[in-house]
Amino acid sequence: MELEKNKKTRKLLRALLSLEDRVVGKPFPGMKRVRQISSYHCGPAVIVELLSFLGKSVSQIAVVRSIKAKDKIKRLGLNIHDLAKATASVGKKEVVFWRKRQSTINDLSNIVNKYHYPVAVEWQGVFYEDEDEDSGHYAVITKVDKKSNYLRICDSYADFAGVDRRFRIKVFEKRWWDVNKINGKNIVDKKMMFVVTTKGETWPRKLGMVKI
């Protein structure tokens, strides 16, 4: 992450990670990496990515239109329930949206390494020069290496899209939370994760995940 903090060496780190993907293999190569179409479309971008892993092609615009959230996304962004509703719509009810609060790194590791699914998280994104008062962000975890103490994050934010970022696990854990305004109240989501599976998959229940 030190290389990434410095704007001058950020491109070097990106090139090194890209080289690693070519040599070792990109995590979840069947999952499309997309660039979000605006600063507030991270949620729709993540849904596009998760559905692409299942072989389904949708657009960020279609995700937003499916729940008539064109205005809301600009004001408040989309919360987990919005994303679940949109997923059911654009997925034509052929997929299932699972989520879990108070998740653990072990949960993420099991999903990625045991069940071989990418898993999305709600966290405080790292934007450096573009930081503002609201760092709430959605992204997809594609690799968890507990032995080496790092993970890879597919981040659709314009500056980082295309090559999965690398963070130390402890750095990510400190930022694994967000606040959403729902019905006028601020709701804190701590260690929220979610996956999209095909119908019939039951392994998320073993991790304490629930359908929404």
Amino acid in the structure at residue 44: P
Q: For the whole model, what pTM was predicted?
A: 0.95
Does the structure show a pLDDT above 70 at 43?
yes
Quick: pLDDT tens for 127-171. Answer: 988 777 678 999 999 999 999 999 999 999 999 999 999 999 999
Per-residue model confidence as pLDDT tens digits over 89-98: 999 989 999 9
Cα–Cα distance between 51 and 61 in angstroms, integer? 14
Tell me what the pLDDT averaged over the chain comes to.
Answer: 95
Q: Which residues contact 202 (CB under 8 A, 6 or more apart)?
A: none
DSSP string, 98-165: EEESS--HHHHHIIIIIS---EEEEEE---GGG--S--EEEEEEEEEETTTTEEEEE--STTTTTS-E
User: Helix (H, G, I), strand (E, B), or coil: what is residue 187?
Assistant: strand
pLDDT tens string 46-59: 999 999 999 999 99
Assign 8 a pLDDT band (cuts: 50, 70, 90): confident
Residue-wise pLDDT for 74-120, tens only, equals 988 999 999 999 999 999 989 999 999 999 999 999 999 999 999 99
pLDDT at 180: 81
Which residue has better confidence, 145 or 186?
145
The pLDDT, as a whole number, for residue 2 is 64
Options 2.60.40.1180, 3.40.50.720, 3.90.70.10, 3.30.70.260; CATH for 7-211 is 3.90.70.10
Tell me: pLDDT of 1 over 60: no
Maximum CA extent, the chain = 49
> Would you say 141 and 120 are in contact if contact means Cβ atoms under 8 Å apart?
yes
Count other C-beta atoms under 10 Å from residue 59's C-beta. Answer: 13
